[in-house]
Amino acid sequence: MRASIRTINHGTVKRDIRTGRFVPTFTIAYTCATGRHVRTLPASGINTIGKGLMACADGVAWDVEVLDREGNDVTFDFACFAGMA
């Protein structure tokens, strides 16, 4: 008899190539002219998108929020959003 494989979601996307460790993920949501966008990314992806959003002209994106795995707002924990406060 074959045992079933149990999948456990640790809130990770994949292992980091350099360290081999699991990478925690965050959810970024924002609204722009094309609608509401929601993506789940590691911290490096959040910083990349955040820098792009902050470099755009004012009013291009609004209602920006970043949530951790538990649903806590961690938007201002990222340096790219520090100037929004």
pLDDT in tens, 54-75: 777 566 788 889 999 889 999 9
Averages of pLDDT over runs of 10 residues in the chain (85 residues) are: 51 63 85 87 88 75 89 90 70
12 Cβ contact partners less than 8 Å away, ≥ 6 residues apart: 22, 23, 24, 25
**Every domain of the chain and the residues it spans:** 12-79
On whether the pTM is more than 0.75, the answer is no
pLDDT at 6: 53
Separation between Cα atoms, residue 36 and residue 21, nearest integer Å:
31
- Among the listed residues 12, 32, 33, the one whose alpha carbon sits nearest the alpha carbon of residue 21: 12
Residues 39, 49: contact at Cβ < 8 Å?
yes
Give the span between the Cα atoms of 60 and 85, in whole angstroms: 17
